[in-house]
Amino acid sequence: MKYRSAFDIIGPVMIGPSSSHTAGAARIGRVARTLFNRLPKKAVISLYGSFAKTYKGHGTDVAIVGGILDFDTFDERIPKSLELAEEAGMEVVFSVEEMVPDHPNTVRINLYDDKGDLEVVGISIGGGTIEITELNSFKLKLSGEHPAILVVHNDQFGVISAVTHILAQHQINIGHMEVSRKEKGKMALMVIEVDQKIHQDVIREIEKVPNVTQIIRMVE
């Protein structure tokens, strides 16, 4: 793991004993909440590796739930997040998994309500830094640290160039981008992290691109 600054090693301002098990866990939960874009009625949290072994002692459970409740890493409500989730009407189910993950600090979060569902897999890689590695079975790499859009589209010629052209017209610089697809010619996903906030008028332009079916905006 390469750290970009001393603050990545020291870790973030946070509630809890561990930057990996608490701050990172809270950030994964909060990214899942941002992607779902509302408070779910039910959250199924599957823990793997080190997360599974120490989640209660290190506060990983309350951190993830706090993130789903949209709490930041330093929010003093995190230790009470399980009670607050119950008060808000959100059912929480924890599942300890025996499968050995690619990374020891791995969690799969499934969120549900009457409008739909979402599945997110995230890893906590140290110092509070995270990566979202899977979204609804799409493989991806999303840090959650920068403004980003996730563009769901049909895997057709010209879609990627049309989207990036719109961003260029608005002088929006792309810091990281990747594309994944489940099958050639079927559904695909663009993950685009940028250096500045993407305004709603830009989103509306991208929505008009042929074969774009959905845009999820990560608000920074």
Q: Is residue 206 part of a domain?
A: yes
Residue 14 pLDDT: 46
Residue 134 and residue 30 share a domain: yes
pLDDT tens, the chain, 220 aa long: 343 443 343 344 445 445 556 888 999 999 999 889 899 999 999 999 888 888 777 889 999 999 999 998 889 999 999 999 999 999 999 999 988 777 788 999 999 999 999 999 999 887 778 899 999 988 888 877 788 999 999 999 999 999 999 999 999 999 999 998 888 889 999 999 999 989 999 999 999 999 999 898 876 5
Q: Is residue 131 part of a domain?
A: yes
Domain span at 159: 148-218
Residue 217 pLDDT: 84
The total number of structural domains in the chain stands at 2
pTM comes to 0.79
Q: Is residue 167 part of a domain?
A: yes
Per-residue pLDDT tens over the stretch 49-108: 888 888 777 889 999 999 999 998 889 999 999 999 999 999 999 999 988 777 788 999
Q: How far is 94 from 46, CA to CA, in rounded Å? A: 6
Q: What is the CATH number of the domain that holds 116?
A: 3.30.1330.90
